[in-house]
Amino acid sequence: CVSCYLSHLHHPQAQMEECDKMHHQMREAERECTELLRRINAWNRLNSDSLSDYGPLSPQAGGTRPFNPTCCRMCCGRVLSHILSLVMACFKTSMKDCEHAISKEFIRALFDEQFNRFPGICEVKRAAIRSLATTSEVGAKFVLAELRTRLKATQDVVSAEILGSLVQREFSISDQYVELAVEILDEGIF
């Protein structure tokens, strides 16, 4: 009954217990709110391809800083290999959800083999190129454009090897790869 509850609150001890109980519930609600906000922020960072929360950064830099996993010359090749393997595993899991992350710059970085002093990096990058070309329509178009540029401008042997392996496969625009291979052979580039 409400009157019994109100009369119970007139006792100082009962009022103190009720206040403590309310205070405890309020603190618990604040903790839950903070945890939910932390999770929402983490999901937002994940959805915007941001790996970490760096906090407020300089406004001149636009508030973001590029991701740099390591500066150590001894382990950077191994770290690069693991990160690239992780990225490719994400692509294989759900290419449709990840296709928006494929860009010309990403494909160009995969073709860049200046880090060939690290064993296995070049092969991991080539496998990534082949995988993106055969499983993603966006990736296939970017890879085709990069192959065309490299083969016509610099007669890149690595690009020729990649093209050779791709013309043997069947995928969304494989006929365009075959046309490029024929075009390169007709022009006597290789």
Mean pLDDT by 10 residues, the chain (190 residues): 56 78 87 84 71 46 54 77 86 82 90 74 90 92 95 89 94 93 84
The pLDDT value recorded for residue 30 is 87
The pLDDT value recorded for residue 42 is 76
The pLDDT value recorded for residue 50 is 59
The pLDDT value recorded for residue 59 is 42
The pLDDT value recorded for residue 49 is 60
Rounded to the nearest angstrom, the gap between the alpha carbon of residue 107 and the centroid of all alpha carbons in its chain is 13
Cβ partners under 8 Å of residue 190, min gap 6: 151, 155, 160, 184
Tokens standing for residue 48: 């915007």
Give the C-alpha separation, 62 to 176, whole Å. 40
The pLDDT value recorded for residue 182 is 94
Nearest Cα neighbor of 126 from 171, 156, 155, 97 is: 156
The pLDDT value recorded for residue 144 is 96
The pLDDT value recorded for residue 17 is 83
